[in-house]
Structure formats: structure tokens, C-alpha cells
Amino acid sequence: MKYICTTCGYNELNTPPWGEDGSTPNFEICPCCGVEFGYEDSTEKGKERFLAYWIDNGMNWFVPKLKPCDWSLNEQLKNLCALNMKKMKYEELIKEYKDK
Ligand SMILES: [Zn+2]
């Protein structure tokens, strides 16, 4: 079973970032966006801020070798949609990024 980073939508995590019960963060680092589970992702605002900062700084993967060659953040963020998370704001962020 794979788990998802609720900040960037990366869905190849081997352990649940917030524990099986969803409230016991494991403080591991997302290999994609580099968020620390239980820290920057503990609030929706925190996630948004972290994602925006990461996008602004070139979207560098925390573990670059795991980055698929055809990777696209837009595609990855669709994983969050499946979780019924607010996706609009992320799309706005991406748009802002692309307009720069
Ligand atoms: Zn992530």
C-alpha cells in the first residue's frame, strides 16, 4: 500500500505520513516536496505556504533520483483531488508560477 503527501500530492510513500490513525505524524520527509510530516503540513495554511515556497524555489525534489522523467506537478496535484482536498488554490499557485 502506498500513501500520499497531502502537501504536494506525491503518492508513493511507503508509510502513512500521519500514522494509521491520521493523527500520529511520523516526522519523515516527503521525497518530493521535502515537507516534514507533522511539522509544516500540520495546518492547511502551512501546507499552502510550504507548497508555494517550494514552487517559487524551483520545485527541487528532496530525493532527486525518485523524480520520474515525465513528472508534472499539475498531474501530481490531481492526487489531492481524489482526496477531496481543496485543489483550486493549488491550481492558482501553479498558474501564478507559470505566469512568472
Ligand atoms: Zn510532498
What residues does each domain of the chain span? 1-100
99 CA → ligand 1 middle, Å: 23
63 CA → ligand 1 middle, Å: 11
- Cell 508513493 identifies what position? 12
- Per-residue pLDDT tens digits for 3-48: 999 999 999 999 999 998 989 999 999 999 999 999 999 998 999 8
3 forms beta bridges with 13
CB 61 within 8 A of CB 31: yes
Please give the model's pTM, rounded to 2 decimal places: 0.84
77 CA → ligand 1 middle, Å: 10
13 forms beta bridges with 3
